[in-house]
Amino acid sequence: MLLFAGLGNPGAKYVNNRHNVGFMAADAIARRHGFSAWSKKFQGEVAEGKLGGEKVILLKPQTFMNLSGQSVGEAMRFYKLEPAALTVLYDELDLVAGKIRIKTGGGAGGHNGIRSIDAHVGKDYRRVRIGIGHPGVKEMVHGHVLGDFAKSDRQWLEPLLDALADNAVLLAEGDDNGFMNKASLAVQGAGSNGPAKPAPKAQSHIRQARPQQPTAKVPETGPMAAMLKKLLGKD
């Protein structure tokens, strides 16, 4: 048995927050693979199903992000699971938006939900880090994380969630590299199929010819004609 925990904050006001992308991932997996309806358990919401023949419990802690470990720890103890059976899906500031990276163990990286889980179950579990991008300055981080995804983000977010759900079996099988490759290709494909940008106007490297100036008419007789003939040696 495996436990997949998607992190986020409960309540309608947080539904579309970047911080809730873990909830979005869990919902996408449940829909794609016909998991049971969500029910309340372990201070969270749970759904049960199978991925590649492996029984999987999906968990969305309802304790608010900073106390996620309470819910995850309770579920781990109930099912008598070791940290190796746990996979946590959550938002990552330090990854470019749309990127996914997977690691086992390590630090919390400033993520309070991960810090809470570390305190309750240890650090030796798998983390699926879903990039939401960094706003650029520390003062803007709070608003960025708790802000809603922009409309333009849907161009990569929806294909990413679809790819995550489509390939969740790879996660259950422990094929982390295969899973990351599939997710990366999905986002790249979405980018290539997006609205075409107008091509920049080509800059010609050929200098346009200047309009020719009308040639002055040379008189055939008179003093000027005689002077020209003398200069040209035609006198």
pLDDT tens for the 235 residues of the chain, in order: 999 999 999 999 999 999 999 999 999 999 999 999 999 999 999 999 999 999 999 999 999 999 999 999 999 999 999 999 999 999 999 999 999 999 999 999 999 999 999 999 999 999 999 999 999 999 999 999 999 999 999 999 999 999 999 999 999 999 999 999 998 898 887 754 433 333 344 343 334 444 455 455 555 566 666 665 565 555 4
What are the extents of the domains in the chain?
2-192
β-sheet bridge partners, residue 40: 45
- CA 127 → CA 87, 103, 107, 150, distances in Å? 6, 5, 11, 25
Catalytic residue numbers? 19
CATH superfamily to which 2-192 belongs: Peptidyl-tRNA hydrolase (3.40.50.1470)
Predicted structure pTM score? 0.80
Instruction: Evaluate whether 66 touches 57 at the Cβ level (below 8 Å).
Output: no
CA distance 128 to 21: 11
Amino acid at 106: G
